[in-house]
Amino acid sequence: MPDSRIAITGIGITSALGMNVQENLYSLRHGLCGIGRMDILSSRHGEELPVAEINYTNQVLARMTGLKPETPRSVLLAAVSIRECLDRAKLAGSDIEAFYYGTTVGGIDQSEKQVPAYLKGESVDYQIFTTHDNGKSAEILSAVFDMNCVGATLSTACSSAANAILSGAEEIKSGMADTILVGGADGLSLFTLNGFNSLMILDRKLCLPFDAERQGLNLGEGSAFLILESVEHALGRGAEILALVSGWGNTNDSHHQTASSPEGIGAGLAMKKALAKANLSSADISHINAHGTATVNNDESELNALSAVFDIIPPFTSTKSFTGHTLAAAGGLEAVFSVLSLQYGEMYPTLRFQNPIRDNICPVTSLTYRNLQHILSNSFGFGGNCTALVFSKYCPS
């Protein structure tokens, strides 16, 4: 009988921790935080708001990718990690039969550079605005890599990349495609920086996920992609299977556009859905990569959801303490980190944690080695969007 489990055969990543998997892994293992002073993005809040910025200008990224410097930053970052992902999977772009891409920023970082001149009635490069809409990013990427498909964009705020993974998994399961590229990217922009600042949920210092003293999140940027195939298909072409996507669940919190319900209703339901899809009980989960944004509301809500789903909450962490909150890309970054955790039996710490919110519930605070079988990764977004994914160690059946 064909093995229809869903294999991950390629990963690629950029973040403030590094421009590939090895650099990210090194930073995670050595506790090197990517959050710091804003250098590339030019904002009047540059001195007061720390961000997890990738320390390459668009010009440098353009040279690395062969794209134009006016390309949306998210696309430049995505192009770097898609290249790594395809190479790791030993695939060409033309092997990709479906491409699910998560973004919220799209080309807005380029649009916002044109707006001051536009408002003054000065000369504007209208070509730039053609890259504004989110769908254009996937279109550029599928063309650049000569993919054998039309890219499809999901935009569900901070769960976008996680939902791209979910959609890819469902497509593989339903037999609609054999080789799928999934993930997401968001570059820093004035639009999102000022948007989150106006919501008053940005910490002026380094963020403190799951800490009683947390004041808010730090924005970050990055991209992360995975190749999904059925195990049967992967083995058939001799690919190395890095891990499995074994469960997924998406729900709506149905509470508020920007705030999570205090009980974490949607989050809890998403986790239960993912566990059911993976045919696992909560006791089977050995580690959780939490959403853990470090906002007062999110972390409290997520802890309540975890308490409702798990009799004993497994060791959990927020890698956003390293990468900042990379918005649409976050679910992709954390999927890659989950794969690395499974591969190397490592749990990466939540940096700077000191004071539990309650009941001595503490995240992992140092690099910890353990035989990990199943990892739950949470991603929640505006609009009450809640997604949970289960990644599992690959064992031949």
Partner 1 sequence: MSPQMTDPDFSELIDVRYMRRMSPLLLMGVYSAMKVITDTDDVASIISGTGLGCIKDTYTFLTKLVELDEQGVTPTAFIQSTHNTLAGTLGILCKNHGYNITWTQSYYTFYFALRDAIRQSKLEADKQHLLVAGDEMTDEVRQIIRQMPCGDNRIEWMPCSSAFLLSSAIKDDADWMIQDSHLLTVSQFEQLNLKNFDCCINANSFLQQLLPDNVIQFNLRSGTHFTLDGAALAYGIEVANAKEWNSFCVLGGDQRRVHFLTVSKA
- Decide: is 296 part of the binding site for partner 1 (CB under 8 A): no
CA 163 to chain centre: 10
Is 158 one of the catalytic residues? yes
Name the helix (H) or strand (E) containing 163.
helix 160-173
Q: Is 1 helix (H, G, I), strand (E, B) or coil?
A: coil
Nearer to partner 1, 286 or 295 (CB): 295
User: Angle at which helices 160-173 and 330-344 pack, to 10 degrees?
Assistant: 70
Is 325 one of the catalytic residues? yes
In this structure, are residues 337 and 222 in contact, taking their beta carbons and an 8 Å threshold? no
Name the helix (H) or strand (E) containing 346.
strand 346-347
- Decide: is 90 part of the binding site for partner 1 (CB under 8 A): no
Is 33 one of the catalytic residues? no
- Decide: is 22 part of the binding site for partner 1 (CB under 8 A): no
Q: Which amino acid belongs to residue 206?
A: L
- Decide: is 218 part of the binding site for partner 1 (CB under 8 A): no
Q: Which amino acid belongs to residue 377?
A: S
Candidates 186, 253, 300, 346; binder of partner 1 (CB under 8 A) is 253
Candidates 9, 71, 156, 295; binder of partner 1 (CB under 8 A) is 156
User: Angle at which helices 190-198 and 108-119 pack, to 10 degrees?
Assistant: 90
Residues 6+ apart with CB under 8 A from 265: 253, 254, 255, 305
- Decide: is 174 part of the binding site for partner 1 (CB under 8 A): yes
Nearer to partner 1, 55 or 254 (CB): 254
- Decide: is 258 part of the binding site for partner 1 (CB under 8 A): yes
CB of 319 to partner 1, least distance (A): 23
In this structure, are residues 239 and 196 in contact, taking their beta carbons and an 8 Å threshold? no
Candidates 9, 24, 74, 104; binder of partner 1 (CB under 8 A) is 104
Burial of residue 60 (number of CB atoms within 10 Å: 0-12, 13-18, 19+)? middle
Between CA 124 and CA 115 the distance in angstroms is 8
Give me 74's structure tokens.
Answer: 């998210």
Active-site hit among 132, 233, 291, 374: 291
CB of 106 to partner 1, least distance (A): 8
CB of 377 to partner 1, least distance (A): 18
Candidates 384, 388, 391, 394; binder of partner 1 (CB under 8 A) is 384
Size of the site for partner 1 (CB under 8 A): 59
Between CA 99 and CA 86 the distance in angstroms is 12
Candidates 92, 199, 212, 276; binder of partner 1 (CB under 8 A) is 199
Nearer to partner 1, 121 or 396 (CB): 121
Between CA 333 and CA 336 the distance in angstroms is 5
Which parts of this chain interact with partner 1 (CB under 8 A)? 43-45, 104, 108, 111-112, 115-116, 118-119, 124, 126-127, 129-130, 133-136, 138-139, 150-157, 163, 167, 170-171, 174, 190-191, 194-195, 197-199, 250-258, 265-266, 269, 381-385
- Which positions are catalytic? 158, 291, 325
